[in-house]
Amino acid sequence: MRGGHQMNIDIEGQTIYLFGGWDGTNDLADFWSFNIPVLFFLFFFFFLFFFFLFFFFFFLSFFFTFFFFFFDNLQIFFSFYYEKAGEWNCLSNDTSKDGGPIPRSCHKVCFDQINKHLYVLGGYIDADQRSSNHLNSDFFRYDTKSNTWFKISSNTTAEGGPELISDHQMVIDSENQMIYIFGGRLDFFFFLTILFKKKILCFKKFSKYNKI
Residue 105 identity: S
What whole-number distance in Å separates Cα of residue 111 and Cα of residue 97?
A: 22
Instruction: State yes or no: pLDDT of 65 exceeds 60.
Output: no
Top-confidence residue, 209 or 129: 209
CB 113 within 8 A of CB 12: yes
Per residue in 131-151, pLDDT (tens digit) is: 555 668 899 999 999 999 999
- CA atoms of 162 and 156, how far apart (whole Å): 6
Sequential DSSP letters for 161-185: S--S-BS-EEEEETTTTEEEEE--E
Which long-range contacts link 186-195 to residues 24+ away (Cβ below 8 Å)?
192/162, 192/163, 192/165, 192/168, 194/162
Instruction: From 116, 105, 115, 77, select the one nearest 20 (Cα to Cα).
Output: 105
Distance, first Cα to last Cα, the chain: 38
- Per-residue CA distances from 91 to 26, 94, 116 (Å): 20, 9, 15
The length of the chain in residues reads 212
- pTM of the entire structure? 0.72
Strand order in the sheet with 117-121: 108-112, 117-121, 139-143, 148-153
Average predicted confidence (pLDDT) for the chain = 77
Q: Which of 98, 120, 123 lies closest to 111 in space, CA to CA?
A: 120
Whether the predicted pLDDT of 10 surpasses 80? yes
